[in-house]
Amino acid sequence: MVFYKKWLSIFMILGDILYLVSCGSQSSFIRPMWVDSPHYLDTDEKLFFTGTSRRFSSEAEARNDARNNISPQVAKYYGNFIRAQAMDISTTDIDYYDEEVLSYASSVVSRETPVEYYTEVYRKKNNQEEYVVHVLSQIPRKKAEEDIHNFAKNVSERYSNILVKQNTFAATLRMYENILTELDQNPLRREAAYYDSPNGRVGLYEYLTLQINTLVDSITLESIPSVIIQKADTKDISGSLYSNMMEHIGTIDCRVSIYRINKATPDYTFQVNADKHFSIPLSTQGLEAGMYTVQVELLMRVPQIKKNLMGNFSLEVTPIPVTLEFAGDAIGEKERAILLQSIQKGLEQDRVPLDLPTFPTQAAGAGQKHYALLVTVNYIDYRNPYIIGCYVTIAFTRNNQIVGPQAISKELKEMNTDLLFRKEVADYIRNNRQFFQGIKRAIL
């Protein structure tokens, strides 16, 4: 007896101690098997469930909490049964929650009287008692099967009533997408819902996925000729859509993606406002000169679609034509050629998309935007027959106005006339990276 009291005191110091259990009206230290595995009692007519309470200071509160815990257990059983019946779905134990299923479970549980209680009494450090109650309850198996059948039937009918014929492609697509999104948000309804098609009963989710894929496959982009856009320009591309399933398209959102040899640029969206017809504002922002493929896709709100590409067309981005113009003192053809070559190398090393002519010219550029590199050379007389010099200015202009601060100028001199242009002027132009980078920023 002394030994028992010694160990009891140690347990009391360490924490709560389970010192009394009762089953029904009789005390017992044997924990019933149904507390942990109620379904071993299942029969062809009855299903058994266990509800377990949290700890309470009164047994009455614990019993009430245990009874309230029965309904979620029944709802979970309904969910697992529905999942087991679904096509291509394993019977993995899940805990799907659905208000409608819980209401069915609560209704059937409320009509049944608990079969048995099992109470555990814990004594805390302060000598106060707390109760945990386990309650065994039963429901008719036939009623459970009816509840599950009615849940699936009601959900299926509600969604089937929404599936009505729409007047446009867009309205039909949104109808399918909205239902699929709802089903994705409630997996239990996704598993339970079915659709009675002319070919027989099928899962509603699978039916909608098939219908939406068929609908999307029916729409195509009517042919758009190859498009040519000059760098730094924007062009509106007109097009139209066609569906072999529905005459009217309606308002839909689309996406444009521009690709070039596995290199994608940021895509952007546009909307088909007028029926079938649309306009894509194509911009060369961020695009280098070259050939591209433009893909037009239907913008989807669900991930189940295998294909949403409606078509594509070719895009060519051309460099900006720019004239090389001269001002100031007259210079010879040799000097002009050196200036042209130096500027060309500067443009190439910084990948500036300007289409510089292969020969010096003073002709004005054609078109709405006139870009030019204006080179001004003024010779300087040093009153020294052995020194020759000049003042060189280069400016990047658009419509005869300097673009931003893009202009450079410097006084250069050399004892050798040939070296003045071939080395001093040429090196100064080629090595002025800031000037060419500024031009690139100005046009991109």
Question: What 3-state DSSP class applies to 422?
Answer: helix
Domain range annotation of the chain = 2-148, 151-217, 219-318, 320-443
pLDDT digit string (tens) for 233-254?
Answer: 888 888 888 899 988 888 888 8
DSSP 8-state secondary structure symbol assigned to residue 112? S
Distance CA 237, CA 227 (A): 8
Q: What is the pLDDT of residue 273?
A: 66
Cβ atoms of residues 372 and 323 within 8 Å: yes
- Please say if the pLDDT value at position 36 is more than 60: yes
Helix (H) or strand (E) run with residue 333 in it: helix 333-349
- Please say if the pLDDT value at position 348 is more than 60: yes
Question: What 3-state DSSP class applies to 326?
Answer: strand
Distance CA 263, CA 288 (A): 12
pLDDT digit string (tens) for 174-211?
Answer: 999 999 998 888 888 888 889 998 888 899 999 999 99
Give the mean pLDDT of 276-294.
83
Give the mean pLDDT of 318-346.
85
Closest alpha carbon to 127 in 57, 60, 64, 28: 57
Question: What 3-state DSSP class applies to 267?
Answer: coil
pLDDT band at 48 (very low <50, low <70, confident <90, very high): very high
User: DSSP per residue over 216-264, as a string?
Assistant: HHTEEEPP---EEEETT-EEEEEEEEEESS-S---SEEEEEEEEETTEE
- Burial classification of residue 429, based on how many CB atoms lie within 10 Å of its CB (0-12 exposed, 13-18 middle, 19 or more buried): buried
Cβ atoms of residues 195 and 207 within 8 Å: yes
Closest alpha carbon to 77 in 144, 157, 29, 130: 144
pTM above 0.85, yes or no: no
pLDDT digit string (tens) for 393-443?
Answer: 888 888 778 876 667 778 878 777 677 888 888 888 888 888 888 887 777
Q: Which residues contact 269 (CB under 8 A, 6 or more apart)?
A: 253, 254, 255, 256, 299
- Please say if the pLDDT value at position 90 is more than 60: no
The tokens describing 197, both together, are: 């098609």
Closest alpha carbon to 139 in 112, 104, 115: 112
pLDDT band at 24 (very low <50, low <70, confident <90, very high): low
Q: What is the pLDDT of residue 134?
A: 94
**Span 219-318 CATH architecture:** Sandwich (2.60)
